[in-house]
Chain A
Amino acid sequence: MSYSASGWLSGHRRVLVSGAAAGIVAALVLLPLAASSSAASRTANSAAIPAAAARQLSMTMERWAKLSGDAKPLWIAAVTTTRDKALRLATPGDTIPGSAHQTVYLAVMKGNFTLTDVPIPSHGRPLTGHYLAFTFDHATFQVMDIGISKQAPPGSLGSLGPVSTLAQQK
């Protein structure tokens, strides 16, 4: 399975691109993909992320990208979904009781990241990864889950609903 940005975003309409430069790049890359959109693959009750929320997510994710060692991630994308579905992509293998009834924003970015500011065992080492994923409470923007992995999430972000491209800077 390919986990390129186009693979993640293919088949889903672009909702928001923040920044003119990012928008031009993203448009060149993504518009052809949007033409092959498949509504059948979307979750029926998912909604596009409102513009104001997308702006806040974009600012937050870009700040975290910088703090995690890659100020210019290859891409950042987000979707509205339930927490249990988000966990399958953000922290695959983790299940949390009651999460099927929680609405979240799932935001994922691709780059070269290092996590130092999470607890680790005394002889553990900070992990690096290419995919950094967050779930946010859709009302408060409180972070609910964080995942970093060398491997792409095991599924398409677009399978959860309309994808918002928050930034694409490289």
Chain B
Amino acid sequence: MDDCLIRIRRYLPSGRRTRHTAALLSVTIMTTIGMVVAGKAPSALACDINNHCYAVSSAVGADNYGVGATISISCLYAPNSYPNFLTNELWDASGNEQYWVEAGAISGYGYNNQNYYSRELFWEDSRPNGGSIHFHPVEAVNPANYYVAVTWAGNNTWDVDVNGNQYASTSQPMFSGGAVTLAGTEYTFNQGNGMRDIGHVYDVEWRSANGNWHPQNASMGADLPSGPSAYITPTYDASTSSVSWTGPC
């Protein structure tokens, strides 16, 4: 793992992501032109529950044995508008991002129309063999720093820890054939809808097979804002392995 071959995906992503981004931009431009011509509001081009938006940094590489980071919750607020939500969080995912373990803080609903979360720690996993996804809200929290780690525990098990306390264990095979680490914010509110979202994820690190932790440094990079009409841009400081984003607040 120490010779982990990391592809940096910054503002000029390569391969799959380039094609994905190009296709998305093409569809976006063509749809916008069509709607302008038709004189309709571009309601389809919004961050919403069916089109999540992101401001994240990512590292694409070989398998890892865990990821960790300090999530700094400073301005995280979702208006009470079911079913929308936003998160500040960390993901460790398979190369195609179809299977993952994630942990962080959520504001809004997160599949719960009975209980609005002001700010709630949560974790979630998606795994193969049946295509299952599991969402677990954990506890309400105040703005502060939270160290979150997802670590390989062997025997197809990953542990989820927050501030050194084990929150859970989850069955998930090693992300063989490549893994993606993502850190940042995910949101479903269109611009001007009252969401507040400024945050940081500090000291993003990955764990090698021998159990040592390594800063992401230059192996990570800021992704393009993702999602229709995404309006928050992430930045990444390689010297501190830190992700930042400044949305409305």
CB pair B110–A118 under 8 Å, yes or no, is yes
Point out the residues of chain B lying under 8 angstroms from A117, CB to CB: 49, 83-85, 109-111, 188
Interface string of A10-41 (1 = CB under 8 A from B): 00000000000000000000000000000000
A118-B133, A129-B132 known; A95-B169 Cβ under 8 A: yes
A64 to B115, CA, bound (A): 13
CA distance A90 to B129 in the complex (A): 15
Q: How far is the CA of A143 from the CA of B135 in the complex (A)?
A: 10
For A115, the chain B residues whose CB sits under 8 A away are 111, 133
Known A123-B97, A143-B114, A151-B130; judge A92-B171 contact (CB<8 A).
yes
Contacts of B126 in A (CB 8 A): 120, 124, 127
**A60 interfacial contact with B, CB 8 Å:** yes
Q: Which residues of B contact A129 (CB under 8 A)?
A: 131-133
Interface size grouping (class) on chain B: 35 or more
Q: Is A147 an interface residue (CB 8 A)?
A: yes
Q: B114 is contacted by which of A116, A123, A142 (Cβ under 8 Å)? A: A142
Is B137's beta carbon under 8 Å from chain A? yes
- Contacts A119-B102, A123-B96; is A97 near B134 (CB within 8 Å)? no
B227 nearest in chain A by CB position: A122
Task: Given A64-B113, A119-B89, A122-B97, answer yes or no on A91-B49 (Cβ-Cβ < 8 Å).
Answer: no
**CA gap between A146 and B126 in the complex, in Å:** 12
Quick check: is B226 within 8 A (CB to CB) of the other chain?
A: yes
A93 to B136, CA, bound (A): 13
Q: How many residues of A contact B (CB 8 A)?
A: 38
Q: Is the CB of A94 within 8 A of B131?
A: no
Residues of A within 8 A of B89 (CB): 119
Give A82-121 as 1s and 0s: 1 = Cβ < 8 Å from B's Cβ atoms: 0000000011111111000000000000000001111111
- Cβ < 8 Å to A, chain B residues 98-120: 98, 100, 102, 104, 106, 109-115
In the bound complex, residues from chain B placing their C-beta under 8 Å from that of A122 are 52, 54, 56, 58, 97, 182, 186, 223, 226-227
Interchain CB contact (< 8 A) of B180 among A63, A121, A151: A121
Smallest beta-carbon distance B100→chain A, Å: 6
Residue A125, interface by CB 8 Å: yes
Q: Shortest beta-carbon distance, A115 to chain B, in Å?
A: 6
Closest residue of chain A to B223 (Cβ to Cβ) is A122
Q: What residues on B are CB-neighbors of A63 within 8 Å? A: 113
10 further A-B contacts with Cβ under 8 Å, apart from A121-B182, A150-B130, are: A92-B171, A94-B170, A97-B167, A119-B85, A119-B102, A122-B182, A122-B186, A123-B20, A147-B134, A151-B130
The answer to the question of B190 belonging to the interface, with a C-beta cut-off of 8 Å to chain A, is no
Which partner residue on chain B sits nearest A64 by CB separation? B113
Instruction: With both chains docked as a complex, state the minimum distance between the C-beta of B19 and any C-beta of chain A, in angstroms.
Output: 12
Chain B residues lying within 8 Å of A97, measured Cβ to Cβ, are 166-168
A145 to chain B, nearest CB (A): 5
Does any Cβ of B come within 8 Å of A169's Cβ? Answer: no
Q: By the criterion CB–CB under 8 Å, are A119 and B124 in contact?
A: yes
User: Which residues in chain A, 139-161, are within 8 Å of chain B measured between CB atoms?
Assistant: 141-151
Min CB distance A32 to B, Å, is 30
Query: Which residues of A lie under 8 Å from residue B182 when comparing CB positions?
Result: 121-122
B10 at the interface (CB under 8 A from A): no
| B64 on the A face (CB < 8 A) | no
Which residue, of A119, A124, A129, A143, has the highest number of chain B Cβ atoms within 10 A? A119
